[in-house]
Amino acid sequence: MDLTEFGARFRLATERAHEFAKQYVVESLPQRRVFRVRLNQSYDETASAVFERHPEDSTEARARQLLRCDEATAVAAMWRDRKVPQWADISVVGEERDATVLQVVVCGRFTNDEALLYHQREGYPPFHVVGPSLPPRWERGTRFSIHHREECWGPEDLPRLIEHRDAIWSLELYTDEFDREELRPLGQLPSLEILEHRKCSLNESAFKALGRYSRLRAARLWLEDGSPFSIGGDDVCPSLGSLTIYGIHRWRSTSSTFQQVAPGLVTIVIDGPIQDISGATALPARLDSAHFSLPAVSEESLLGYLRGVRELKSLSLRDTPVGDDFVEAIVAWWQLEYVDLVRTKISQAKIDELAQRYPALKMHPRPTGWNPKR
């Protein structure tokens, strides 16, 4: 595609997204536009060879380069010698004092074949106008703050977060610069319910930091390489119902339990190369959902960790090397509604046996002869 034509389509789509957002948000949305371009946002492992791919677009350095860019930079990032992404979604995600921030979520598949582009009917393929993202419990006809979902990449974002602290419902944190101070520089966020910390090095201060937010109900932590995790002392997160920990290498045990520090916890996800989980914080007696992706953990260690759970509805052991005997034991413990055993060591024969013995149990992988219409 010609660069001039691609740029014209992008400009038209951004104008539509800008005008569309004005119907919903309380902010005035300045006419000047800046762009946050997110490259490689599609699953392309099974993509056809007709497409060109650029895995180098997935680095954090590249993401930071395109956090706040002008139109020319955004267009140049997507136009690759007459090849363009198969699709790109555009939405308003924020506003600064003198500019509206539009996010461009870009497919990782590039082509010079116009016929392969998505969103032909909208008139400016490959672009698709979406958003802005609606807040929880939104009622039709009411306006809301564009700042209910926010991101923080460094100290330069703090003034905006502080100014709009009452509106922030969800926050994505892409820096660990505030972890030594237990997130205090972020200030009070009285409406915060979801925190995604993608470079977490809070270590034993995790729950002391999370406990600052009284309405926090979901925390997702991506631990920095080798960073240990601990729930710390007696700091309580009264509203926390869901905790996700990615990249865990070490877990420092304490005398506290999840029942004490997160009495409302019903969902937990633990993922990483940790080798021994037996010393991890004791799980609550009752959970709705648990997901363990632990390729280096032994069956004995994991079995011991799970013994304290008396009630569980859904369990995922995807990518955890457990076999037939282990699965036989844990399925007998609970009246599970669902179990995910993809990329474990379970045999197809055991899956088929469990399907016969527990006909109400939903499973992945599917039993032999599984029929979705039954």
Residue 218 CA to residue 249 CA, distance in Å, equals: 22
Q: What share of the chain is helix, strand, coil (3-state, %, to 5)?
A: 30, 25, 50
pLDDT at position 373, please?
62
What number is the average pLDDT over the span 294-317? 94
Query: Is 80 exceeded by the pLDDT of residue 279?
Result: no
Bin 147: left if φ > 0, else alpha if -120 < ψ < 50, else beta: alpha
What number is the average pLDDT over the span 11-31? 96
Tokens of 272: 């990483």
pLDDT at position 363, please?
94
pLDDT at position 192, please?
97
Q: What pTM value is reported for the model?
A: 0.91
Residues 207, 212, 218, 221: what is their CA dihedral angle, to the nearest 10 degrees?
Answer: -50
pLDDT at position 74, please?
98
CATH fold of 146-321 reads: 3.80.10
Q: Are 331 and 351 in contact (CB under 8 A)?
A: no
Query: Is 60 exceeded by the pLDDT of residue 87?
Result: yes
Longest dimension (CA), the chain: 64
Q: Give the chain's end-to-end CA distance (angstroms, integer).
A: 48
For the chain, domain boundaries: 3-129, 146-321
Residue carrying the six token digits 């993922």 = 271
Q: Are 179 and 201 in contact (CB under 8 A)?
A: yes
364-372: list long-range contacts, CB under 8 Å, 24+ apart: 364/339, 364/340, 365/341
Query: Is 60 exceeded by the pLDDT of residue 217?
Result: yes
What digits encode the pLDDT tens for the residues 141-151? Answer: 999 999 999 99
- Give Cβ neighbours of residue 374 (< 8 Å, ≥ 6 apart): none
- Give Cβ neighbours of residue 153 (< 8 Å, ≥ 6 apart): 64, 67, 174, 175
- pLDDT interval class at 355 (50, 70, 90): very high
pLDDT at position 243, please?
97
Mean pLDDT of all residues belonging to the chain: 93
Query: Is 90 exceeded by the pLDDT of residue 204?
Result: no
Query: Is 60 exceeded by the pLDDT of residue 374?
Result: no
What digits encode the pLDDT tens for the residues 219-277? Answer: 999 998 777 888 877 788 999 999 999 999 988 877 788 888 899 999 999 999 999 88
